[in-house]
Amino acid sequence: MQKRTLGNSSLEVSALGLGCMGLSHGYGPATDTQQSVSLIRHAFDLGVTFFDTAEVYGPYLNEEVVGQALAPVRDQVVIATKFGFTFGADNKQQILNSRPEHIRVAVEGSLRRLKTDYIDLLYQHRVDPNVPIEDVAGAVKALIDEGKVKHFGLSEAGAQTIRRAHAVQPVTALQSEYSLWWREPELEIFPTLRELGIGFVPFSPLGKGFLTGAIAADAAFGSDDFRSIVPRFSPEALQANQDLISRLREIAAQKAVTPAQIALAWLLAQAPCIVPIPGTTKLDRLKENIGSTEVTLSSADLQSIATALAQITVHGDRYPESLKARVGR
């Protein structure tokens, strides 16, 4: 697989990474550990060198799975993880916490679970309004100076927060949602990243599964599936958003590929420092996603997609009201 460099940094990764969250968190029961380990190792064998996890996924379980899977090839891969929360007694309540002393505790836990002595890319998972971002960047800078962390990242941060953090410790990558059906980062975030030389890692590049075309208009989600509380996955929105899938299928058919491959190839074509991290629990989907790196979209193809998108209105917010305040700060 081709490699990409995240912004102006020295961090080189595979053009497509693997988002590991769904193996343990967010989309129903956790996948069997050995199945998860096998999938991650298959991804490596197929050329993926960039793996994304976080302490909150589980919590903690996902880091353990990723650590076990990648231990034999640790020096050949890039592992990204995240800090930024403490948890209630049942480990379900997520409480924002980016105090410098907590960052250090979180990193020590991540290092232990990941079976490594350094983290390649450490993200603040969500901006904590109670802690100045300069203090957060300073805490990560200290960890970088100690060799426990190699690169600093932010997730779902706003442009001014990115600038303030970058002035203390250069930010290697921003991770935020971006896809054919969520393009808000293009407005203010992309110009900021280009100016500062920061890479971009889109999560949910397949719209939490919707852009694969595999989610029917009448789909239902269990209470342990995050999409059950997302307005964009309400019955009304799923029905209304089928227009986007219909158009995506038409474009994919013209290229003899799948809708998911078009969605990922479109992201890869937006800029050379963009590295999507689609997640999956299935080997065939993993191979399909990796196949997107071989799909070439011409200027005419991209214009056709842009024209189609301009004619479609996506229905439903991407987050419920309770989580909206955590993004874009």
User: Which amino acids are annotated catalytic?
Assistant: 57
Positive or negative, the CA dihedral 21, 24, 29, 33 is positive
Q: How far apart are CA 40 and CA 61, in angstroms?
A: 14
Q: How far apart are CA 301 and CA 269, in angstroms?
A: 11
HEC profile of the chain? CCEEECCCCCCEEECCCEECHHHCCCECCCCCHHHHHHHHHHHHHCCCCEEECCCCCCCCHHHHHHHHHHHHHHHHCEEEEEECEEECCCCCCEEECCCHHHHHHHHHHHHHHCCCCCEEEEEECCCCCCCCHHHHHHHHHHHHHCCCEEEEEEECCCHHHHHHHHHHCCEEEEEEECECCECHHHCCHHHHHHHHCCEEEEECCCHHHHHHCCCCCCCCCCCCEHHHHCHHHCHHHHHHCHHHHHHHHHHHHHHCCCHHHHHHHHHHHHCCCECCCCCCCCHHHHHHHHHHHHCCCCHHHHHHHHHHHHCCCCCCCCCCHHHHCCCCC
User: Which residues, at least 6 apart from 105, have a Cβ–Cβ distance to it below 8 Å?
Assistant: none
User: Which residues, at least 6 apart from 246, have a Cβ–Cβ distance to it below 8 Å?
Assistant: none
Q: How far apart are CA 308 and CA 297, in angstroms?
A: 15
